[in-house]
């Protein structure tokens, strides 16, 4: 495991092309982060890699956390524009590197989520509606960021965050 080098990883908004240029680094970081994860959705780690790197996301950006030149976290498929009439948006997978100290890792996760919420709010979204793919993700987003299971029977299995 490569040690954490600095106090605070930097977060950058990146395009799909930029993510694909670093696909090998990002895939390796995803595989390390989700090793041993208990998934609540199908697809496992291969699904995370596919959805994060390969899916077309021309109207979405990706928040990538870097420690110098090393990928140490990300939040994929964040909105970069809102279409007229849209009140809610979804989001892709979130991860932080297990090579980070626990407190730095937790704070990085919080920073990624807060940045996403702030950007979505600025775009005019009223809520987030998304699936959460791991047991740890459910605990983190529910406890620290106020996500709750959708009471709407048409959205069974989805989680909501009111902005």
In the chain, domain spans: 10-125
Split at pLDDT 50, 70, 90, the class of 1 is very low
Inter-helix orientation angle 102-123/135-145, to 10°? 70
The answer to whether 56 and 117 are in contact (CB under 8 A) is no
Residues 113-142 have pLDDT tens digits of: 999 999 999 999 999 999 999 999 999 999
Domain 10-125 has CATH 3.40.630.30: yes
What angle is formed at CA 9 by the lines to CA 23 and CA 135, rounded to 5 degrees? 70
- Considering the entire predicted model, what is its pTM? 0.92
Split at pLDDT 50, 70, 90, the class of 7 is low
């Amino acid at each position: 495991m490569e040690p954490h080098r600095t106090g605070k990883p930097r977060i950058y908004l990146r395009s799909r092309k930029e993510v694909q240029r670093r696909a090998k680094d990002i895939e390796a970081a995803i595989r390390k982060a989700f090793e041993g994860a208990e998934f609540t959705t199908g697809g496992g780690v291969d699904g995370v890699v596919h959805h994060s790197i390969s899916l077309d996301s021309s109207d979405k950006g990706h928040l990538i956390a870097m420690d110098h030149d090393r990928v140490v976290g990300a939040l994929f498929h964040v909105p970069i524009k809102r279409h007229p009439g849209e009140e809610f948006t979804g989001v892709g997978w979130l991860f932080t590197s297990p090579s980070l100290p626990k407190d730095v890792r937790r704070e990085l996760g919080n920073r990624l989520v807060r940045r996403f919420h702030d950007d979505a709010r600025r775009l005019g979204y009223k809520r987030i509606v998304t699936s959460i793919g791991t047991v740890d993700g459910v605990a983190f987003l529910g406890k620290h960021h106020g996500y709750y299971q959708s009471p709407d029977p048409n959205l069974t299995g989805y989680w909501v965050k009111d902005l």
